[in-house]
Amino acid sequence: MKHLKLFILLLLSLPAAAQTIIKPDAGIKQMVDEVSSKNIEATIRKLVTFKSRHTLSDTTSKTTGSGAARNWIKAEMEKYAALSGGRMTVQFDTFTQPKGTRIDKPVKLKNVLAILKGTDPTDTRVYIVSGHYDSRINDVMDANGVEPGANDDASGTALSMELARVMAKRSFPATIIFATVVGEEQGLYGSANLAKRAKTENWNVDAMLNNDIVGNTHGMETDLKDNRSVRVFSDGIPTNATDKQVAALKSLGGENDSPSRELARYAKETGERYVDQLDVKLIYRRDRYLRGGDHLPFLEQGFSAVRFTEMNEDFNRQHQNIRTENGVDYGDLPDFVDFNYVQKVARMNLSVLANLASAPARPQNVGIITSDLTNKTKLTWEAPAIGKKPAGYYVLMRETTSAFWERKFYVSDTAATLAYSKDNYFFAVQAVDADGHESLPVFPKPIR
Ligand SMILES: [Zn+2]
């Protein structure tokens, strides 16, 4: 409660549109500090020793190929789980992928999941952080070349594993799944299977964080060097929105407030609260040109999901046979990964997951009253039906042209009337506990 009171005082004493200040959680800061670039480096270098982690590569060898790689990842995760007091369990998420464009015969594939069960039995929320452990070179069907995939995506895999290591020893009310998935390069198969399973088994996935290519800090031909920025890609119009829902969003100017975009804004605010020298850059698109990623199947199933990727890419170090051509070196090798940068991105992911999994669930039925013509804004909502009871709520506000939330109003009730016109600003509501952990913000629906 102390933080909230301090926060309200700050709000009252600051001029309009000033930056809000929230005291970081010492427990989260401690975990953030424990994320180690040395561990991340060791994991990436180890993953490269399997020679190929191609989805169709050998599964029988103990030292090379996809089978050896996934067994090693599982064994490592089990070491972390051993320190969790029985709360973390590790499993292969096994499925048979039928023949397809980039799969020449039906093949049994395995994601590796480390599941840290939430401590609150009334809280069904699940958070997923994921990287893909498969790799490729120029020919996407070449399963047996030298395919290091150090940046794409041993970096994301190592990030997911390092977070499992640090967080296994802690407890959170909600469940966190540390995933390393297969089949991304062949067609997002591991992630698609996991998203479908989540939907079929009614998992309450509140957010999915996809980390893919998070280790390189210079642009190929532009020579831009940047070790402090990371992009977060989010969809504007929800990928699974119906025509009717799209029409409603257009009429409100809500195209920029999908649940995934609120997640992206949350990642920026929380990540920058806990990690120094890091700018989380909101990119207003689902993914880059010509590219896709493991967040897409989750978006298709209606979950909130975003993709994190380095700021400037080196395409000579993605999907390339290792070679030198006209004096240019090609290949996705570990020596070109900036491990301190991966550490920063990992720390950002950890702060987002820890803050979300510690927070109350999102408020429900958030509405903006539109029955009166007025220059004020009246919002109503209900407490979350699951998990801990919130200490209160933040009403967030921003100019319609602003990328980020600019004001946070604390209210202890489940309604608020603000002296700002609903026609001139955007609003959202998030639940907050006594220690300041915020839920994801919910963009209101009009209520007559
Ligand atoms: Zn990738």
Tell me, in angstroms, the distance from the centre of ligand 1 to residue 428's CA: 33
Phi and psi for 39 in degrees, rounded to 5?
-65, -45
- Of the pLDDT bands very low, low, confident and very high (cuts 50, 70, 90), residue 222 is confident
> pLDDT > 90: what percent of the chain?
92
Mean pLDDT across the chain:
94
- Residue 120 pLDDT > 70: yes
Band of residue 21 on the pLDDT scale cut at 50, 70, 90: low
Query: Phi and psi dihedrals of 263, rounded to 5?
Result: -65, -40
Gap from CA of 305 to ligand 1 centroid (Å): 16
- pLDDT beyond 90 at 5: no
| Inter-residue contact 145 to 330 (CB < 8 Å) | no
179 bridge partner residues: 113, 130
Instruction: Extract the tokens encoding 59.
Output: 């599964």
pLDDT for residue 4 is more than 50: no
Q: Which tokens hold the place of 382?
A: 């209900």
What's the confidence (pLDDT) of residue 372? 84
What is the rounded distance in angstroms from the CA atom of residue 127 to the CA atom of residue 209?
8
Q: Is the pLDDT of residue 19 over 50?
A: no
pLDDT bracket for residue 104 (50, 70, 90): very high
Tokens 């979300």 -> residue:
356
CA 288 – ligand 1 centroid, Å: 12
d(CA 296, ligand 1 centre) in Å: 13
> From the CA of 167, how far away is ligand 1's center (Å)?
24
| Site of tokens 């070679």 | 323
pLDDT tens digits, one per residue of 268-311: 999 999 999 999 999 999 999 989 999 999 999 999 999 999 99
Residue 203 CA, ligand 1 centroid: distance in Å: 25
Q: Are 257 and 280 in contact (CB under 8 A)?
A: no
Long-range contacts of 412-419 (CB under 8 A, 24+ apart): 414/363, 414/380, 414/381, 414/382, 414/383, 415/378, 415/379, 415/380, 415/381, 416/378, 416/379, 417/376, 417/377, 417/378, 417/379, 418/376, 418/377, 418/378, 418/379, 419/376
Please tell me the distance between residue 301's alpha carbon and the centre of ligand 1 in angstroms: 20
The pLDDT of residue 82: 98
User: In this predicted structure, what is the pLDDT of residue 17?
Assistant: 36
Q: What average pLDDT does this structure show over 232-249?
A: 95
Residue 159: Cβ within 10 Å count: 34
Calculate how far, in angstroms, residue 257's C-alpha sits from the geometric centre of ligand 1.
27
Q: In angstroms, what is the span from residue 241 Cα to ligand 1's centroid?
A: 26
Residue 15 has pLDDT above 80, yes or no: no
Read off the pLDDT band of 11 (50, 70, 90).
Answer: very low
Strand ranges (E), 53-195:
88-97, 107-116, 125-132, 175-181
Predicted confidence (pLDDT) per residue in 320-335, tens digit: 999 999 999 999 999 9
Residue 7's pLDDT is 47
C-alpha pair distances (Å), 201 with each of 97, 183, 205, 207, 353:
19, 21, 11, 16, 22
- How many A from CA of 250 to the centre of ligand 1? 33
Q: Cα Rg for the chain, rounded, in angstroms?
A: 22
Mean pLDDT of the 5-22 span: 45
How many A from CA of 185 to the centre of ligand 1? 7
Separation of CA 152 and ligand 1 centre (Å): 5
Could you tell me the CA-to-CA distances from 161 to 133, 157, 279, 323, 404 in Å, in that order?
Answer: 11, 6, 23, 30, 31
The rounded Å distance from CA 291 to ligand 1 centre is 9
- CB–CB of 191/303 below 8 Å? no
Tokens 């699940």 sit on residue = 126
Q: Find the 132 Cα to ligand 1 centroid distance in Å.
A: 7
CA 36 to ligand 1 center in whole angstroms? 22
Q: How far is the CA of 153 from the centre of ligand 1 (A)?
A: 5
pLDDT of 16 reads 40
Give the rounded percent of residues in the chain with a pLDDT score beyond 70: 95
pLDDT of the residue at 220 = 87
Q: Which of 11-15, 357-361, 405-409 has the lowest mean pLDDT?
A: 11-15
The region of weakest confidence among 40-44, 131-135, 190-194, 287-291 is 287-291
**CA–CA separation, 136 and 147 (whole Å):** 6
